[in-house]
Homo-oligomer: A and B are copies of this chain.
Amino acid sequence: MKVKPDYRRPVDIAHGHIDMNHGAGGRASAQLIEDIFLKAFDNEFLRQGNDGATLPVAPELLRGGKLVMSTDAHVVSPIFFPGGDLGCLAVNGTINDVAMLGARPLYLSASFILEEGYPLRDLQRIANSMGSASRNAQVPIVTGDTKVVERGKGDGVFITTAGIGVVAAGVTIGGDQARVGDSVLLSGSIGEHGVAVYSRRESLDFETEIQSDTAPLHTLVADLLNALPAGSLRVLRDPTRGGLATTLNEIARQSKVGMMLDENCIPIQPQVESACELLGLDPLYIANEGKMVVICAHEVRDLALAALRAHPLGRLACEIGEVREDPNYFVQMKTKLGGRRVVDWLSGEQLPRIC
């Protein structure tokens, strides 16, 4: 018996579709992984080829510090939208969740739930976008999994990423750290991601196409940590689902404080503002994927703003309010018209499947 060990017919990516065999764990699964995912994510850890990856952690990184772990399922619809797609969103989103604890993201995992019939060409495009986002952020995808569900039991592709990172000794950033008197900063303008996805979903044509702001924020966080004295940075959080309003309410509740915002100071791109008016959406509740809220001691706010503005992803950073004492944990806002209103949590659903 003379055969070339391991010969196999290449996968026809241009014309092929996901079938149930791709999820069965046999030869078809192995080929799919090799021809699409390994090629797109290529790195030494993934190439270990086991059901998990063995990963070095430089001892100086962990000395006195802690591990950070985060995960997100991504079900955005449509999968491709102006400024990004499900793939880069899944990579950037989890990098950001790790970074928001003041940690340096080290490694990512990626799990795919594929619907029978999904075009391999599109899957490859998503995988390539993930690979490129991961290389750009220098955070490799080290392990993964692929499952297939029958037609009508999924929706093309869902991707769940998990991330691990390390946070240095003495860094205690978290939603419960805001203190009365702290400054509330925002790294840039709000609403772009949600409006970009929504406009593509509804096939709306605006004069200027609004692009998602999806971006990895970990280097911005690192710059901020470097610029500020230890302990003066209290909270970092990316206002994704539920938007800025919900994120600030979450923080207020965790920290048992109130906040007073100034609507005039919250940056919104004019085309996002017009789109929101047209569509009846409130930009305060719209998801962002490349912005962060920074709460820091009042006396370091200028240092913080300077550090943010020196980074390409923080050029429009500004102070949007302050932390106040409030037994009701209300987030309030001075409006553009000079009034004052309570900015509540998102209740109900403004935009489904935005991330």
B328 engages A5 (CB within 8 Å):
yes
Contacts of A250 in B (CB 8 A): 30, 49
Closest residue on chain B to residue A49 by CB atoms = B254
- Do the beta carbons of A160 and B73 come within 8 Å of each other? yes
Interface size grouping (class) on chain A: 35 or more
Q: Does A153 contact B (CB under 8 A)?
A: yes
List the B side residues contacting A75 at CB < 8 Å. 23, 113, 147, 149
Rounded to whole angstroms, the CA-CA distance of A268 and B25 in the bound complex is 21
Pick the interface stretch among A212-220, A225-233, A234-242. Answer: A234-242
* Cα distance, A355 to B50, chains bound together (Å): 18
For residue A327, which residues in chain B have a CB less than 8 angstroms away from its CB? 5
* Residue A3 is within 8 A (CB to CB) of chain B in the complex: yes
Per-position binary interface string of chain A over residues 321-355, scored 1 when its CB falls under 8 Å from any chain B CB and 0 otherwise:
00000011100000000000000011111111100
- Please tell me if A72 contacts chain B, counting CB pairs below 8 Å: yes
At the interface with chain B, which of A59-67, A120-128, A182-190, A302-310?
A59-67
A131 within 8 A of partner (CB):
no
Tell me which of B24, B51, B68, B328 contacts A348 (CB under 8 A): B24
Q: Which chain B positions have C-beta within 8 A of A147?
A: 73-75, 158, 353
Within 8 A of B (CB), among A157-177: 158, 160, 162-164, 167, 174-176
Q: Which of A1-60 contact B (CB under 8 A)?
A: 1, 3, 5-6, 20-21, 23-30, 48-57, 59
Nearest Cβ in chain B — how far from A197, in angstroms? Answer: 14
A240: shortest Cβ distance to chain B, in Å? Answer: 7
Cα A26 to Cα B146 with chains together (Å): 30
CB within 8 Å for A154 and B152 given contacts A50-B175, A348-B24 = no
The stretch that binds B, out of A96-104, A270-278, A311-319, is A96-104
Assuming the contacts A241-B25, A352-B150, asked whether A110 and B54 have C-beta atoms less than 8 A apart, the reply is no
Confirm or deny: A144 has a beta carbon within 8 angstroms of a beta carbon on chain B: yes
Q: Which of A1, A56, A67, A154 has the most CB of B within 10 A?
A: A67
On whether the beta carbons of B73 and A26 are closer than 8 Å, the reply is no
